[in-house]
């Protein structure tokens, strides 16, 4: 079995990086992560955060 490193990023509530001129700090960190560290591949997961769906999702 191959070793892999899982790196998980969660953005804050109501943050939508696609709709802002500046990326969030979490997105900046995500982009800075190399695809591997030494000989260990790094797998990155990003979640936009709570409340980043459509208007109906925000009202639930």
Query: pLDDT digits over 16-27, tens only?
Result: 655 667 888 888
Q: How far apart are CA 12 and CA 55, in angstroms?
A: 17
Domain ranges of the chain: 5-59
Global confidence as pTM? 0.68
CB within 8 Å of 39: residues ≥ 6 apart: none
Tokens of 46: 């990003």
Q: How far apart are CA 23 and CA 17, in angstroms?
A: 5
Asked if pLDDT for residue 9 goes beyond 90, the answer is yes
Q: pLDDT tier at 51 (50, 70, 90 boundaries)?
A: low
């Amino acid at each position: 079995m191959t070793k892999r490193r899982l790196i998980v990023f969660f953005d804050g509530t109501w943050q939508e990086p696609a709709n802002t001129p500046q990326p969030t700090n979490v997105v900046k960190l995500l982009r800075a992560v190399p695809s591997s560290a030494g000989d260990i591949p790094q797998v990155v997961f990003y979640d936009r955060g709570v409340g980043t769906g459509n208007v109906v999702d925000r009202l639930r």
